[in-house]
């Protein structure tokens, strides 16, 4: 049996908080924190954090679609973000913390647009869904200190999720931790 991996890229605010939900699921080969969507080549965390590069903090996921289909990644992605907030996510504000789905194929684009329409039609949110669906752009892995942050700094990671309001939002909106 040959493993066939695909790539998915999601911007969902602080990338520290976007790795763990995907990281240990069956069929997920790798989750990398990084930057995408901007104009600066090989940006640093400080450059992206300044909001002047056009990049967003994002995660890039290598996955085996026969085990964990792209549509399931989309379902999980939507439950990690506030798709109605165009100014950032939770207490992280600015264009570098906006949400976006970066598609790597026409099939991914169609699936992302369909899932966005379904979410909008669900009535779960009173405001419009503003998460962008964009073609994949060059992805630059973040510095090593930002990779698997939840494992390296569990207490700081936990505090970030609580203080940001992300966990409360997820619990209130989706009824889960």
Tens digits of residue pLDDT in 63-102: 999 999 999 999 999 999 999 999 999 999 999 999 999 9
Mean pLDDT score, 99-109:
98
Q: What is the DSSP string of 126-154?
A: SSPP--EEEE---EEEPPGGGTTHHHH-H
Q: Is 17 left (phi over 0), alpha (psi -120 to 50) or beta?
A: alpha
10 Å Cβ neighbour count for 163?
11
State how far the Cα of 38 lies from the Cα of 98, in Å rounded to an integer.
Answer: 12
The predicted pLDDT at position 174 comes to 92
Quick one: which of 1, 13, 8, 5 has its CA closest to 94? 13
Average pLDDT, rounded, for the chain: 95
Phi, psi of 95 (to 5 degrees): -65, -25
The predicted pLDDT at position 2 comes to 59
Looking at the predicted structure, is the pLDDT value of residue 1 above 60? no
Looking at the predicted structure, is the pLDDT value of residue 176 above 70? no
Mean pLDDT score, 127-132:
97
What DSSP state is assigned to residue 128? P
10 Å Cβ neighbour count for 100?
21
pTM of the model: 0.95
CATH class of 6-174: alpha beta
- Of the residues 14, 56, 74, 129, which is catalytic? 14
State how far the Cα of 29 lies from the Cα of 148, in Å rounded to an integer.
Answer: 13
Looking at the predicted structure, is the pLDDT value of residue 177 above 60? no
State how far the Cα of 6 lies from the Cα of 114, in Å rounded to an integer.
Answer: 19
21-52 pLDDT tens trace: 999 999 999 999 999 999 999 999 999 999 89
Q: Is 17 a catalytic residue?
A: no
Share above pLDDT 70 across residues of the chain, in percent, rounded to a whole number: 97
Per-residue tokens: 147:
């990779």
What DSSP state is assigned to residue 64? -
Confidence category of residue 175, pLDDT binned at 50, 70, 90: confident
Domain positions in the chain are: 6-174
């Amino acid at each position: 049996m040959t493993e066939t991996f695909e790539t998915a890229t999601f911007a969902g605010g602080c990338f520290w908080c976007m790795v763990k939900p995907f990281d240990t699921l069956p069929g997920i080969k790798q989750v990398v924190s990084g930057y995408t969507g901007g104009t600066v080549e090989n940006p640093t965390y400080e450059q992206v954090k300044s909001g002047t590069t056009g990049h967003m903090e994002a995660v890039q996921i290598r996955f085996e679609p026969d085990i964990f289909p792209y549509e399931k990644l989309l379902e999980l992605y939507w439950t990690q973000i506030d798709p109605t907030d165009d100014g950032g996510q939770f207490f992280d504000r600015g264009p570098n913390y906006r949400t976006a789905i970066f598609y790597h194929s026409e099939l991914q684009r169609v699936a992302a647009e369909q899932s966005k329409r379904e979410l909008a039609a669900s009535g779960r949110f009173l405001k419009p869904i503003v998460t962008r669906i964009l073609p994949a752009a060059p992805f630059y892995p973040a510095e090593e200190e930002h990779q698997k942050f939840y494992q390296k700094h569990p207490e700081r990671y936990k505090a970030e999720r609580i203080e940001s309001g992300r966990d409360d939002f997820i619990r209130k909106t989706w009824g889960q931790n």
